[in-house]
């Protein structure tokens, strides 16, 4: 290999070189020694994981993240409920992933590299054969004329540096640490396109349906897909993934294999396989490669056959916290004050897939403690939250939202979450629950925060009861964020922005503005976007708005009063995120509009 071969340097590559150099000694080329704890040599990956957890515990105690008593309580909880220790720490916001990564890296005496924020180029990753990468779980991260950096989640592997030196042309090898989840994302570079794998499975002519479904769901897990669509055409079936709210074609499948795939999904979801003329709904828990995912399935007959939509539910709540959602500092203080009120209703509004349930669960997670009884009724249960009593709607037993809410009130709850208020009976039950001293959270379909209030009244809720119980309405949308790996800035004139936003001078006061965009790279599948952030419009029901509600006002009058009290629109929240470089003006215009 040509040693002068250079690759685009990651944003923090200079820092990486300095850190790594300082953390390695003159024995860089020597075989790593197996670390030991209290004189016992580590012999297996399981031993390494045990000692990794031990080091994390020691670091948390040393840095006053936890007391001895709190640590013992956590150990009791994870043993009782069979929870992964690290996942529990992150889910409860005790520590973040960077703390975990840095702590483990310190234990191995190597540097920590955040692969999620700084992904290496695909051509560099692929310089190592697939079998070496997957067996050693090692990623080629950086290469220049003087040295090479590799990242792994098992830095203590004997002979690892010597093995990797074969791919550097004799350059010195430095080993760094990254989290296992981030390693798995990079390993996806070795995955062949779905259509190639489909053809290989078909040629082998064994277990076509289950293997194809496995491959599709593996890709969905790796690429953080929210929905999978099977759409039959005349000769092929289109497989499409919804990633960051946008549908993308993932592959195609010959139509003759679709019936077996369809029947397998129906059997797993306990649907009727002989029913082809009516819609059916079901759910499965799918396990593949030691990963389990809860999937909601909807099948609908069309002219070309039965279409299938699979919704992959988030399952765990480790990333549920306000830091990740997109609240600004002022809104965060407002929300934290509102959710600690003793009773009343907090409602999130927005279209399907706008993150309403995620926002509510972040609030529940903040409130969740051993001295509070939290009970939910949902369809489906999207997040599993430890310590919360979660009820799944069951139409077969006539357990719907209104009946479930009626039952929950008799269970002595402090806080109630209703998955959705969608009918008159549920709306009235929710108001009554809030009136009787409960804090109630729910979602509601309305275009903005002010519109939710007239809609409640239209559903038959008495205005004077609504004014007594409604605390806060939060409207929201999800906006794609610019990929950190390929984000660039540019200058734009206010005159050019006015072509898109006629009253642009309201939002931009300078004649020239610095905005940002994503060039497109391997990390974001060349879309320029990776991940999403929420836009929020928060309406706090003040005494003045309570007086308005009693008079059955229009949404316009309600919003005018909210504006006088400092409320911001979804678009204004989006503009601030565009200015901060989190997204683009084009993406904001796609999801929101000026009022």
Mean pLDDT of the chain: 84
Mean pLDDT for 530-557 is: 95
Q: Tens digit of pLDDT for each residue in 79-88?
A: 766 667 877 7
pLDDT of 584 strictly over 50: yes
Mean pLDDT for 534-555 is: 95
Predicted pLDDT at 48: 54
At residue 386 the predicted structure's pLDDT band, cuts being 50, 70 and 90, is confident
Predicted pLDDT at 492: 93
More confident residue, 292 or 238: 238
Tell me the Ramachandran region of residue 245: left when phi exceeds 0, alpha when psi lies from -120 to 50, beta otherwise: left
Tell me the Ramachandran region of residue 270: left when phi exceeds 0, alpha when psi lies from -120 to 50, beta otherwise: left
User: Could you give all domains of the chain from N- to C-terminal order, each with its CATH number?
Assistant: 13-184 (no CATH), 191-312 (3.30.450.90), 322-478+534-571 (3.40.50.300)
Q: Tens digit of pLDDT for each residue in 131-186?
A: 888 888 899 999 998 999 999 988 988 889 989 998 998 899 999 999 887 888 78
Predicted pLDDT at 577: 93
Q: Tens digit of pLDDT for each residue in 497-518?
A: 998 888 899 999 889 999 999 9
Q: What is the dihedral of CA 140, 141, 143, 149, to 10 degrees?
A: -90
Predicted pLDDT at 91: 67
Rounded distance, CA 196 to CA 180, Å?
A: 27
Counting Cα atoms < 13 Å in the Cβ hemisphere of 219 gives 25
pLDDT of 3 strictly over 90: no
Tell me the torsion sign for CA atoms 379, 382, 383, 386: positive
At residue 474 the predicted structure's pLDDT band, cuts being 50, 70 and 90, is very high
Q: Tens digit of pLDDT for each residue in 106-131?
A: 888 999 999 887 888 888 888 899 88
Rounded distance, CA 246 to CA 243, Å?
A: 5
Rounded distance, CA 392 to CA 556, Å?
A: 37
Mean pLDDT for 15-39 is: 34
Rounded distance, CA 247 to CA 318, Å?
A: 26
pLDDT of 583 strictly over 50: yes
The DSSP code for 30 is S
Task: Provide the whole-model pTM.
Answer: 0.72
């Amino acid at each position: 290999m040509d040693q002068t071969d250079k690759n685009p340097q990651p944003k923090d590559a200079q820092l990486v070189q300095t850190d790594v150099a300082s953390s390695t000694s003159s024995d860089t080329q020597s075989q790593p020694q197996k670390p030991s704890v209290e004189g016992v040599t580590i012999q297996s990956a399981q031993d390494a994981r045990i000692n990794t957890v031990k080091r994390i515990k020691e670091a948390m105690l040393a840095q006053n993240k936890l007391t001895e008593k709190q640590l013992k309580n956590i150990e009791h909880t994870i043993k009782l409920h069979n929870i992964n220790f690290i996942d529990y720490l992150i889910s409860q916001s005790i520590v973040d992933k960077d703390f975990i990564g840095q702590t483990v890296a310190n234990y191995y005496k190597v540097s920590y590299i955040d692969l999620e924020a700084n992904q290496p180029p695909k051509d560099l990753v692929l310089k190592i054969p697939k079998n070496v990468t997957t067996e050693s779980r090692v990623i080629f991260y950086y290469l220049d004329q003087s040295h090479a950096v590799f990242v792994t989640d098992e830095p203590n592997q004997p002979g690892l540096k010597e093995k990797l030196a074969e791919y550097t042309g004799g350059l010195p090898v430095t080993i760094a640490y990254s989290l296992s989840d981030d390693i798995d994302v990079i390993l996806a570079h070795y995955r062949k396109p779905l259509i190639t794998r489909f053809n290989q499975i078909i040629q082998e002519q064994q277990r076509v349906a289950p293997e194809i479904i496995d491959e599709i769901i593996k890709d969905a897990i790796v690429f953080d897909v929210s929905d999978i669509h099977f759409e039959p055409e005349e000769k092929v079936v289109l497989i499409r993934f919804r990633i960051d709210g946008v549908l993308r074609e993932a592959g195609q499948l010959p139509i003759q294999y679709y019936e077996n795939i369809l029947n397998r999904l129906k059997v797993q979801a306990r649907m009727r396989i002989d029913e082809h003329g009516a819609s059916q709904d079901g759910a499965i828990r799918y396990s593949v490669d030691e990963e389990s995912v809860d999937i909601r399935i909807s099948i609908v007959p069309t002219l070309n056959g039965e279409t299938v939509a699979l919704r992959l539910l988030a399952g765990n709540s480790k990333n549920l916290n306000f830091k990740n959602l997109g609240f600004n500092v002022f809104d965060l203080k407002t929300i934290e004050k509102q959710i600690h009120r003793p009773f009343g209703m907090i409602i999130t509004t927005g279209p399907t897939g706008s993150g309403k349930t995620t926002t509510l669960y972040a609030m529940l997670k903040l409130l969740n403690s051993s001295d509070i009884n939290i009970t939910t009724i949902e369809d489906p249960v999207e997040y599993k939250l430890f310590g919360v009593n979660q009820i799944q709607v069951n139409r077969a037993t006539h357990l719907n939202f209104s009946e479930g809410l009626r039952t929950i009130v008799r269970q002595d709850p402090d806080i109630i979450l209703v998955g959705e208020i969608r009918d008159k009976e549920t709306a009235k039950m929710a108001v009554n629950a809030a009136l009787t001293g409960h804090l109630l959270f729910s979602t509601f379909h309305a275009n903005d925060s002010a519109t939710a209030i007239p809609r409640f009244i239209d559903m038959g809720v008495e205005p004077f009861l609504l004014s007594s119980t409604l605390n806060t309405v939060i409207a929201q949308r999800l906006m794609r964020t610019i990929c950190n790996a390929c984000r660039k800035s540019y200058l734009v004139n206010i005159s050019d922005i006015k072509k898109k936003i006629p009253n642009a001078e309201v939002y931009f006061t300078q004649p020239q503005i610095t905005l940002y965009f994503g060039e497109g790279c391997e990390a974001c599948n060349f879309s320029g976007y990776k991940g999403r952030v929420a836009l929020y419009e928060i309406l706090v029901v003040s005494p003045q708005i309570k007086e308005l509600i009693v008079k059955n006002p229009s949404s316009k009058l309600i919003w005018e009063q909210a504006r006088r009290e400092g409320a911001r629109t979804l678009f204004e929240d989006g503009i601030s995120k565009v200015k901060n470089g989190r997204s683009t003006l084009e993406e904001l215009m796609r999801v929101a509009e000026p009022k």
